[in-house]
Amino acid sequence: MYSEKFQKFIEMWQKEFAMEKSIDEKLCLDRDGNPIPWYTFPAIEYLSQFDYGEKKIFEYGCGYSSAFWAQRALNVTSIEDKTTWFERWTSEFKYANLDIRWRDEGEGYENAIFEDGLKYDVIVVDGKRREKCAEAAVKALADGGMIILDDSDRINTSEEYRKAVAFLKDAGLIQVDFYGFCPMNCYTKTTSVFLHRDFDFKSKYPIQPINGWGNLWSMQRKDRKEFYKKHG
């Protein structure tokens, strides 16, 4: 039914990106069962390159991304407004450096970022009240840090997202948009990263960029030759 090359493409999405399992079982996990955020794959791969060992993370919206960050960062604070999800994640995620808090009292949600009097290196805006959360995030962002706004393509249909993006850009942050597929979805979306003008995160690797999932150049020269012979 399919050409050999197209079948290879399907297999890559099934195996390398674990998309079949992710969509069918509604899981944000990579091929090895590790938690990944519900961001676009290009954004996940870009963010995965950096060393967060000394970084403080704050999230509006809790989920698999909370575990992803907890496995990498110094500490993570995640705000959740839905009781059922709060109960699930606090029961499922057992990381000493992850603090999940329930907040659902109007301004108490976006202002939760100020409770500890800290500046955060990474702030994720991926919950409710995104316009107000974006405004609060700018005030709590550490020099050289970044703000992640997921589902930013909703700017095309949502006044709230228009205002959130405008506020982040007016704050002088550099906007980088990552378009593409993401875990659990059969359609594309956009995750935007807003970088402080002094952004200076160090890579975990001696080179950047590293080879992404399914990248042919991650193969040895001999293996690449064999691949070309077989698939043209």
Q: For residue 119, what is the domain's CATH number? A: 3.40.50.150
The model's pTM:
0.92
Q: In the chain, how many domains are there?
A: 1
Residue 40, strand partner residues: none
Asked whether residue 145 is assigned to any structural domain, the reply reads: yes
**End-to-end alpha-carbon separation of the chain, Å?**
19
Asked whether residue 224 is assigned to any structural domain, the reply reads: no
| Distance in angstroms (rounded) separating the CA atoms of residues 182 and 44 | 9
Q: Which domain holds residue 129?
A: 17-213
Count the neighbouring beta carbons within 10 Å of the beta carbon of residue 33.
9
Asked whether residue 43 is assigned to any structural domain, the reply reads: yes
| Per-residue pLDDT of the chain in tens (232 residues, 90 and over written 9) | 679 889 989 999 999 999 999 999 999 999 999 999 999 999 999 999 999 999 999 999 999 999 999 999 999 999 999 999 999 999 999 999 999 999 987 789 999 999 999 999 999 999 999 999 999 999 999 999 999 999 999 999 999 999 999 999 999 999 999 999 999 999 999 999 999 999 999 999 998 988 888 776 655 555 545 655 565 5
Asked whether residue 220 is assigned to any structural domain, the reply reads: no
Specify the pairing of strand 141-150 against strand 188-195: antiparallel
Asked whether residue 232 is assigned to any structural domain, the reply reads: no
Asked whether residue 82 is assigned to any structural domain, the reply reads: yes
Residue of 111, 117, 157, 151 lying closest to 132 (CA atoms):
111
Asked whether residue 229 is assigned to any structural domain, the reply reads: no
Asked whether residue 187 is assigned to any structural domain, the reply reads: yes
CB of 152 closer than 8 Å to CB of 173: no
